[in-house]
Each structure stands twice: as structure tokens, then as C-alpha cells.
Structure 1
Amino acid sequence: MVEIKLCNNVNQFIKVAFLTQGNDPNWVPPILMDIKKKLDRKKSSFLKHNEAEFFIAYKDGKPAGRIAAIKNNIHNQRYNKTDGFFGFFESINDQEVANALFDKAAEWLKSKGLNTMYGPTNYSTNDEVGLLVEGFDTPPFIMMPHNPEYYKELIENYGFKKAKDLYAWAYDPTLPINERLLELTDKILKRGKFKVRYVNLNDMKNEVDKIIDIYHDSWSENYMFIPLTEEEKKETVEFLASIVYPELVIIIENDKGEPVAFSASVHNLNEVLIKYRTSNLTLLNIQQLLALAYRLYIKPKNKFSSARLLLAGVKKSYRKLGLDLILYVKSHQNGARLGYKYGETSWTLEDNIPINEGIKKMGGRVYKIYRIYFKEI
């Protein structure tokens, strides 16, 4: 027998993932401080403007899955839609359990006047998004999802259809860059009188404001894009200030000194996090904090062997000038200089041909595919 219960206990909700994924060697437990804040109604920046309800499935009295039903008010206001979302989905390999979770999420969303369910999104496209459908043989990079392969069958058997695929690209910063691309980069910089600089870690608030201004302009027409709220901007400042080298955040300025393009890469913290997997959340929190503190602030060099390029953008009025190439080349060069052995660029939309072709030219290859689903409810 499957029973769905409302869950107001953050720790109980988190621990379901250890039940469903704890034996997968490629699964990485989330940073507990972050996930607890994200799920806490009083602390979550997303839930200050939107709504969500959390449910746990029990089979024969034991936890067997979880789901969040999400009402994204900012999305629906921006696009004049009545879309609902599901996220934080976990389930044992049992269609009855999965169906009961989706039924409960759909029921809650319909009670809010919504008629379509998209997901998984944890909570929006500014967060972890998509179901892993290809590339199960390696761990995810920081802030990217991972799930058992059977989730695809559970979701599609319920009647969900593909809405959009997202690509994660593997790249090798140790390989040399094509000389022709280096020459082209120099020509673009000289012709447009552009200047490349790195983020000023001592002025992160103002720097992040400039970066987010570019991000909002360049991504505004992207699939399901929603702008960051002021609370999310503050979190971005705190996050970037804690885990980046200046060379990982590249800013391109025009001849007037105005920022017009940027890229942001971060250490792949999952290299550390994957080593600590206990479901004792108190112990796990201590292990994570100590391990990350050592890597980030004490270990003298070669802190991480990999990085993720997680954001890049070029203002609309500066597109087709080759600035994206400059961002890729400089990120590659800086990654090699910092000692990274491998990296990921993620994510890109499957139908964003110009961006995908640019990554291919830099030697990137698609090695993981994530899928967003939808279903009328």
C-alpha cells in the first residue's frame, strides 16, 4: 500500500535521497547547509515570492519517495501562463510509488489553478533542472542533477512528454587551442577595442550587479528564463565570493569601459563532496564543512582538478562579434594555468545552435543530456 503524506520536516525530506540514491557510486549528496536553506520556508529566497508543497511517499509504512509541487509565480507572470512544476523527485523503482507522487503533485497544482506540470526543476531554471537521461557513468559536476536510470521510465510511464533537452559538455583544458582560434581572438579584441579583465573579489556586490545585468539581457529570450530576485542576487554574491579565483570570472568591456559579456566558472566542489555519504545528517554536515574549508582556504595549490563553466552571456547588441569565442578561449587558458585536468560547460539548450557550435569548435563534446518534461493535468 502506498500512502502520500505532507512533509514539513526538512531533514526527513532530505534523507529520502539517501534511500533512493545512496548506493549509486556516482551520486553526490547535496551541500546540507544549502539544501536546508533552500527547503526552509523562512529562509528560501525562492519561496519568498513563490509557493511549494512537499510530500513523502510511504510504502508498507516505509519512506519510498518524495516530490515537491511548485507554483512559480514569477514564471507565470512573465509568460502569462498557468504552469506548474515538480521538483526534488526521488522514488524507489516502483511505478505505483511514482504515480502516487505525481498524482499528489498534480492535485496540489490543480488546486492552485494550474493546468500543466513541468519538471523536474529544483525550483526553476536558475537552479538544478532536468532529469539525467544520458551519461550515468560519471558523477555530476557541482549544481548539476544526478538520478537513477529508471527514473526516465517512471516519468514517461506516467504520461510525461519531452519538453526540452539540455546538454552538458565535457572539455579538456590540457589540450592546446587551435592557433587559428587564438589569432581570431586577438583580431576581435583589437578590432572592437575590447578589454578583458577578471572579477574584483574585493568589490563583489558591484561586480555581480554588472554580471547579472548582462545575464538578464543575454538570457531574457531563453527557454523558461526568469530574472533573479534581489535575494537571489545576494546569494550569488556570497556564493561566488566563497569559491572562485578571480581568473574564473571573465568580464569583457567595450571601449567605454562598460561590461558587455562575461563568463563564470567555479571549482567542482563535487570532487570533495562525493567522498562523504553518511545519512547521519549531523555528521555529514561536519564532514562537508571541514573538507570544503580545507580545500578552499588551507590547501596551498591544486585545490581542485576540475571546474564547471556554469554561466556565460553576451549582451544582445554585442552578439555576432565573436565575444563568445573570447570567453571560451580565456576560460580554457585560465583553466589550464590553474591546473585543471578536466571540465564541464553546462548547461546549453539542445536547439541553441550558435552556442553549441562554438563549444564544439573549442573541443567540447556532449557527454550528459538532461530532459525537462511536461504533462497536461
Structure 2
Amino acid sequence: MPITIRPISTKADRKAFIDFPFGLYRDDPNWVPPLKGEALGLITPEKNGWYSHAKAQLFLAEEGGRIVGRISAHIDTLALTMPAAQGFGPGTGFWGLMEAERPDVFQALIAAAEGWLRDEGMTRVLGPVSQSIWEESGLLIEGFDHPPTIMMGHARPDYRGWIEAAGYGPVKQLLTYDLDITQEFPRIVKRIIKSGEANPRIRVREVNKKKFEEEAAIILAILNDAWESNWGFVPLTPPEVKDVGVKLKPIVFNDLIRIAELDGRPVAFMITLPDLNEAIKPLNGSLLPFGWAKLLLWLRAPRVRTVRVPLMGVVKELQNSRMASQLAFMMIEYIRKASVENYGATRGEIGWILDDNQGMRSIAETIESRVNKVYQVYGRDLTG
């Protein structure tokens, strides 16, 4: 039967878009079903602050009246203004949220996404980015043997070959590192931490959730300074910051987020989150009839195997200095202890980290963590 690719806009179509992966990954033990309500909010412009500076077109692939694939084509107007040397820039569009049953379906979906981007004046495409760079970025190409942690993606292993067969080449790799947090760090790291603790200029403190907005503003200021030159950096806008606050506040715990101060000035931060995926995986995407009660009970006193460090940063003036590494090791150690003692965690995951971020990779390797997942961002010229 012929494959039909059609753009979608209705509420029913968006629901079908969200539902499709549940059948596709039904037998994959390492796929984590997202909460459908939250997933639907991400693709609904009225519910996602990212759309304040972006636009997207979602497509469904159908065959004989049955849905066999999906994709999003999207443009981030802030990404268009970034320097091309940082990975995006003028003429750069994206695709993401791609799922397909077969390679021919995939090729048809990619063609539709590329066609929409060309019609919008784009000359280059990157993917998968689903949809904001701050959400799930890159295709999983290594690490299929265990589930992803919160806000990280999963994929079918054959997608890599399908994407490369469509003429896409590697652009950037995003790495996550696995760490046994029940073990103490090497002696050299302990010495660096002890030296920092003896320095009266340094203070590493917990955040205060009761001052959530104030603490978030401090972290955002450090983040924007620390990351502004990184590949793929797009600043978070006020509507997005508000969305992130609503989404993450229930899993923010004072002892898992630290701010480092130098001479009383905040200069570094580290955010750690208990792996919410462990709690939502058994719910199969729904909070009904009793999933909401189970999740609420978990949120009151989470006990997890894994905690994830999605973000950390040091102000630019201290980057590549001994002080930067010292502050990082101190924050990592304090959060490691809290994760084990207060949440029962045995494993930490750091990332993603850009493959060319030698400073962060060196810190991760010094504490004897190892790469456990690799995500690949691909690109292709649209003018040929």
C-alpha cells in the first residue's frame, strides 16, 4: 500500500502522534514510556514556552489507514541568530521526534520534513533534536542495553543506518558518563576537595527550594555565562524558564543542587535530579487510575538507583583553571554523599557532555566514570 505523509494540526492528530511509539517500543525493555500528558504539552504551542520563539510542523505517516511513523520539522528563531561557528546560525532548521516502522517510511518522513524546511527558507538541517536543544538531543548510537535517565532519549538501533543512508553525516556527539557513587573518589580528588574546604574564600552551599525563583535566577545567570560559547547554545527565554520550573520543581531537592561561591559571589552550580524515569516507567504513560497516587508518594521521599547530573557550569573567567576543577569536585562529592545517604542511590550519570568539551570530560574521567551512552547529532545540506 502507498505511504501517505500528512501534516497534522488537530488535537486528535497530536494524540495519535504521542501514542505511536507506545506500540513501536512495546517489546523493548529499555524504552521508558513518557507521561502522555506531558509529552502532549511539549508539542502543543499553547502549553510550551519554546514556541514563543519557534515554530514546528508535525507529520504522520499512514499506510492503509494505519499510522506507521511520525516526525517533527521545526525552526528556532533564536538558533538562527547564533554564530554559525557554534553549530547553528542562519538557515539552520531541525527535525526530531522521529519514529518509523521501516526504512521506506523513514525516508518518506525525512523528505517531508526537509521539504517543509526548504519552503521556510532553510538551507541546512540538523537532527534529531526533539524539539528544543534543552530537551532530547541526538540519536542514541551506543548504550542500548539499559534505559535512559530523565530527559534523555532512547531509539531503535537501526535508525542510525537509516539516517546515514539518507545522506546525513555526523556533526556532534553528546556523551553521558556512568559512575558508581558508592565508591569514594581517588586520593588526588580527595586532596583537591580538602584543599578547597580549607580555603576561606570558597563556600559550597545547598539551594533553598523555598526561594526557588531567586535560586533559579542565580543558576540561570551562571549557565548563560558558562555556556554561551558552547556548541548548540540557545539561551532559555522567560517562558521556557517558567516551564522548566513547573516541570522540575517537584524533583528539586535542596541537597542535590549546589551553588559554589567565591568571595561571596556565586560562580558555579551543579544540578542533580533523582531519576524520575524509574518511577514513571511502570505507569506506561498514564497517571490513571492510580498512577498519580504512586507518583505523588514517590515524590515525597524518592528512593532511586540512579541520579542524573544534567547541568553544571562555572563562570567563564574561571574556566580552564585549577579553581574550576576544585569547585566541580567539591560539588560532585557533596552531592554524591547526599545521593547515597538520603536517596539510596548507587549510580550517577553525568551528561550530556559535548565530545570536544575536554574540561568536563577530564573531570568525569578523573573521578573514574565511564562513557555509557553516546548520542549523535547529524546534519545535511538542503541546497543540493
- Structure 1 length-normalised TM: 0.94
**How far apart are the structure 2 equivalents of 1:347 and 1:186?**
28
CA contact (8 A) 2:204 2:331 kept: no
Q: CA RMSD in A?
A: 1.5
Written as runs of structure 1 = structure 2, the 5 A alignment for 1:233-312 is 233-255=241-263, 257-277=264-284, 283=286, 286-297=289-300, 299=301, 303-312=303-312
When the two structures are aligned, how many residues end up with a matched partner? 368
**How far apart are the structure 2 equivalents of 1:119 and 1:189?**
43
Comparing 244-253 with 333-342, which one deviates more in the overlay? Answer: 333-342
Comparing 141-150 with 303-312, which one deviates more in the overlay? Answer: 303-312
**Corresponding residue number in structure 1 for 2:318:** 318
User: What is the Cα deviation at residue 215 of structure 1?
Assistant: 0.6
The match for 1:86 among 95, 112, 115 is: 95
Q: 1:368 to 1:184 in 2, by over 3 A?
A: same
Secondary structure of 2:350's counterpart equals: strand
User: What is the Cα deviation at residue 245 of structure 1?
Assistant: 1.6
User: What is the Cα deviation at residue 33 of structure 1?
Assistant: 2.8
**How far apart are the structure 2 equivalents of 1:74 and 1:222?**
15
Q: 1:59 to 1:239 in 2, by over 3 A?
A: same
User: What is the Cα deviation at residue 28 of structure 1?
Assistant: 0.5
Q: Once superposed, which parts of structure 1, at least 4 consecutive aligned residues long, lie more than 6 Å away?
A: none
2:82 alignment partner AA: R
**How far apart are the structure 2 equivalents of 1:5 and 1:119?**
20
The match for 1:32 among 16, 28, 36 is: 36
**How far apart are the structure 1 equivalents of 2:119 and 2:336?**
49
- The percent of aligned pairs where both chains have the same amino acid is 30
CA contact (8 A) 1:31 1:288 kept: no
Comparing 259-268 with 283-292, which one deviates more in the overlay? Answer: 283-292
Q: 1:347 to 1:266 in 2, by over 3 A?
A: same
**How far apart are the structure 2 equivalents of 1:150 and 1:167?**
20
**How far apart are the structure 1 equivalents of 2:206 and 2:214?**
13
CA contact (8 A) 2:48 2:243 kept: no
The match for 1:369 among 368, 374, 380 is: 374
Written as runs of structure 1 = structure 2, the 5 A alignment for 1:219-234 is 219-234=227-242
CA contact (8 A) 1:66 1:90 kept: yes
The answer to whether 1:197 aligns with 2:201 is no
**Corresponding residue number in structure 1 for 2:131:** 123
Cα deviation code 1:46-96 (max 9, x no counterpart): 11211100000112331111000011111001234110100101011x221
CA contact (8 A) 2:35 2:287 kept: no
The answer to whether 1:334 aligns with 2:338 is yes
In structure 2, the gaps of 5 or more residues are 84-88
Secondary structure of 2:282's counterpart equals: coil
**How far apart are the structure 2 equivalents of 1:73 and 1:13?**
24
Secondary structure of 1:372's counterpart equals: strand
User: What is the Cα deviation at residue 19 of structure 1?
Assistant: 2.5
CA contact (8 A) 1:33 1:285 kept: no
Written as runs of structure 1 = structure 2, the 5 A alignment for 1:144-183 is 144-183=152-191
2:278 alignment partner AA: E
User: What is the Cα deviation at residue 330 of structure 1?
Assistant: 2.2
Comparing 178-187 with 203-212, which one deviates more in the overlay? Answer: 178-187
The answer to whether 1:107 aligns with 2:110 is no
User: What is the Cα deviation at residue 237 of structure 1?
Assistant: 2.4
Cα deviation code 1:175-207 (max 9, x no counterpart): 112233122112134347110100101000010
Q: 1:227 to 1:285 in 2, by over 3 A?
A: farther
Secondary structure of 1:303's counterpart equals: coil
**How far apart are the structure 2 equivalents of 1:287 and 1:106?**
42
CA contact (8 A) 2:48 2:240 kept: no
Comparing 1-10 with 102-111, which one deviates more in the overlay? Answer: 1-10
Cα deviation code 1:318-370 (max 9, x no counterpart): 22112222222222222222221112111001111121111011121001100
**How far apart are the structure 2 equivalents of 1:226 and 1:161?**
22
**How far apart are the structure 1 equivalents of 2:289 and 2:70?**
25
Secondary structure of 1:42's counterpart equals: helix
Q: 1:91 to 1:38 in 2, by over 3 A?
A: same
**Corresponding residue number in structure 1 for 2:86:** none
Comparing 174-183 with 81-90, which one deviates more in the overlay? Answer: 174-183
**How far apart are the structure 1 equivalents of 2:42 and 2:214?**
25
Secondary structure of 2:225's counterpart equals: helix
User: What is the Cα deviation at residue 287 of structure 1?
Assistant: 4.9
2:94 alignment partner AA: F
1:59 alignment partner AA: E
Secondary structure of 2:173's counterpart equals: strand
**How far apart are the structure 2 equivalents of 1:262 and 1:186?**
19
